[in-house]
Amino acid sequence: MSDEQPAVERQDFIRDIVRDDLASGRHREVVTRFPPEPNGYLHIGHVKSIALNFGIAEEFGGRCHLRFDDTNPVKEEHEYIEAIKEDVRWLGFDWGAHLYHASDYFEQLYEWAEHLIRSGLAYVDDQSADEIRAQRGTLTEPGAASPWRERGSDENLVLFRAMRAGEFADGARVLRAKIDMAAGNINLRDPVLYRILHASHPRTGDRWCIYPTYDYAHGQSDAIEHITHSLCTLEFEDHRPLYEWLVEHLPVPSRPRQIEFARLNLASTVLSKRRLLRLVAEGRVSGWDDPRMPTICGIRRRGYPPAALRDFALRVGVAKRNSVVDPALLEHAVRTELNRTAARRMGVLEPLKVVIENYPEGASEELEAVNNPEDPGAGSRRVPFARELFIEAGDFMEEPPPKFYRLAPGREVRLRYAYLITCREVVKDPSGAIVELRCSYDPATRGGDAPDGRKVKATLHWVSAAHAVGAEVRLYEPLFTRPDPGAERDWVEDLNPASLRVVSEARLEPSVAELAAGERLQLERLGYFCLDPDSRPGRPVLNRTVTLRDTWAKVRDRG
């Protein structure tokens, strides 16, 4: 990992299994793997699996492989492979020399399939996919045997080799394991091991026209790589008996153990690759890396730091029961990390002009501002101050209600790092809209404190009008209006029409223009932001990562 984590012995049922296996001598080293299918971009749900697999390997002095499950050439693209590698590296993990693909093992998998045929444990079935599905049975009724189930091994070998040679059309035949059509676990009712698919593979080209199923390729790939602990989410629990049956009946070089854990489910979030693809294809978002998307590339663009995602995965923990996590916990982890690391800057989203009438015209000065009060080593910067400023329009009210302590006619407030000012006059346009405030300042209060000890109840952020940089700021809200999108209607109807608001006339202190795309900062009193790749010289584009308000901390403290 790129960032050091505290040396804490973490406890959960998987780590307990690993400790016991090492203590008993069952394994001398720990080898895990993260096996994504390259048919889309990774999302926040994958972070838990990545952190678990790589984290356990690191904690126990082992290694974690990155293996692409590229057994379906129709849905796979090289673009996804490169994006997945980038995401895993960005999260802080490294597979070193251990990058593999299921397609690396196609020849070996084929030879083992012939071994099953010769052992009488697999047969070629001429039925269509619909016919096989209809004969599978139900949870309470056994399945029906295929009329081709008792074919002899010699005939099956001839047919299977003909399948490989491309002599049959897609779907004309499949290879099935011969297990038990009356098994209580439907996955053991003669599952399909190979199907015919005349499609070019991104890595093997047109060399193959039959491809192994995930259930067949996965366990055997684990065995080839000497994986010790094959960590899967709970939906694979019912597949474990098949995983173990194949390992038992094939001459594999090792015996990996499959262990299941609960996947990450996040409220108000869609984590189905199929649904995420629909959002992109229908133009409901700007792409896979739209900052509203739960994809890793999307939340990276939004400004989530990788350390916060790793911390979030640890906070969620490892369990055997599915649950739904409040997104506030994720945002809490992000705020905690950014509060520690993000540089502070000032900016105004809805500028209201302030003219300090008793400040010399044409004059300006530089004031010292702290870069990060949580990090003394971050130092300070110089912020320009002049006669004309911008403050946030929401920080002024002409007729303030009780408990509104910010600027109002005749009221004195503090400008952050600067002076105490008092509003003397409100200037309006012909429509009655406030366009300018005329104020005075106390030159003796440089730095924000009055020498006579008088107190003010509000401190405002600001920028110098002459020095400020114009910027576009993108404010994000949850992509869905419900915690369970699609529970009562088509899930796209639960999309939030206000998930993005663009502020095109924001003003920022000039030092923001020096930041590079991807850098994170806090705009004081406004939230945490990240420089978007759309930024141009002199025209920053900021994505709001999270607001300053931490709802999870309040819930936690009440609990």
Asked about 63 being catalytic, the answer comes back as: no
CATH number of 347-468, picked from 2.40.240.10, 3.40.50.10860, 2.40.50.140, 2.60.40.10: 2.40.240.10
**Per-residue pLDDT tens digits for 112-167:** 999 999 999 999 999 999 999 999 999 999 999 999 999 999 999 999 999 999 99
Report how far residue 156's alpha carbon sits from residue 174's, in angstroms, rounded to the nearest whole number: 11
Q: Mind listing the pLDDT tens digit for each residue in 248-259?
A: 999 999 999 999
Domain boundaries defined on the chain = 347-468
Catalytic residue among 33, 67, 273, 387: 273
Alpha helices in 211-272 (DSSP H): 214-224, 240-249
Mean pLDDT is lowest, of 74-78, 255-259, 287-291, 548-552, for 548-552
Report residue 344: phi and psi, to 5°: -95, 140
Separation CA 76–CA 102 (nearest Å): 13
Please list, residue by residue across 492-529, b when 16 or more beta carbons sit within 10 angstroms of its beta carbon and e when fewer do. eebbbeebbeeeeebbbbbbbbebeeeebbbbbebbbb
The mean pLDDT of the chain is 95
What is the end-to-end Cα distance of the chain in Å, rounded?
33
Structure token digits, residue 135: 């004969």
- What does the pLDDT read at residue 10? 83
Round to whole Å and give the CA distance between 53 and 1.
Answer: 12
Question: Given the structure tokens 């002459």, which residue do they identify?
Answer: 466
Q: What string of H, E and C letters represents the secondary structure of 491-528?
A: HHHHECCCCEEEEEEEEECHHHHHCCCCCEEEECCCEE
pLDDT band (50, 70, 90) for residue 224: very high
Contact, 217 vs 195, CB < 8 A?
no
Kindly report, residue by residue over 15-37, the tens digit of the pLDDT: 999 999 999 999 999 999 999 99
Phi then psi dihedrals of residue 147, to 5 deg:
-65, -15
Q: For residue 273, indicate whether it is catalytic.
A: yes
Rounded distance between C-alpha atoms, residue 5 and residue 311, angstroms: 9
Strands (E), 39-147: 63-68, 99-101, 122-125
Residue 8 has pLDDT above 70, yes or no: no
- List beta partners, residue 396: 407
Query: CA-to-CA distance for 515 and 530, rounded, in angstroms?
Result: 10
- Burial class for 455, CB neighbours closer than 10 Å (0-12, 13-18, 19+): exposed
Element (H, E) at 21: helix 13-24
Cβ–Cβ < 8 Å for 349, 362: no
Chain segment 273-297, per-residue pLDDT in tens = 999 999 999 999 999 999 999 999 9
Residue 504 Ramachandran class (φ > 0 left, ψ -120 to 50 alpha, else beta): alpha
**pLDDT for res 313:** 96
391, HSE (Cβ side, Cα atoms, 13 Å): 29
- Per annotation, catalytic residue among 37, 58, 114, 365: 37
Task: Please give the pLDDT value at position 524.
Answer: 97
pLDDT over 50 (residue 352): yes
The contacts of residue 194 (CB under 8 Å, 6+ apart) are: 113, 160, 163, 174, 175, 210, 211, 212, 213, 216
**C-alpha distance from residue 38 to each of 63, 131, 263, 273, 528 (Å):** 22, 29, 19, 11, 32
Round to whole Å and give the CA distance between 498 and 66: 38
Assess whether 82 carries a catalytic annotation.
Answer: no
Assess contact for 521 and 537: CB atoms under 8 A.
Answer: no
pLDDT of residue 420: 98
Task: Pick the closest to residue 245 from 66, 119, 151 (CA basis).
Answer: 119
Q: What is the four-CA torsion angle of 389, 395, 396, 402, rounded to 10 degrees?
A: -150
Q: In the predicted model, what is the mean pLDDT of residues 340-360?
A: 98
Residue 438 CB contacts under 8 Å (≥ 6 apart), including other chains: 355, 357, 423, 424, 425, 426, 427
- From residue 318, how far is each of 250, 270, 286 by CA, in Å? 31, 21, 33
Find out whether 177 and 116 touch, Cβ atoms under 8 Å. yes
pTM here is: 0.92
Q: What is the longest distance spanned by two Cα atoms in the chain?
A: 102
Taking phi first (over 0 means left), then psi (-120 to 50 degrees means alpha), and beta for anything else, what does residue 403 get? Answer: left
Provide the CA 321 distance to its chain's centre, in angstroms: 21
Encode pLDDT of 461-471 as tens digits: 999 999 999 99
Catalytic residue among 19, 89, 161, 263: 263
pLDDT of residue 428: 97
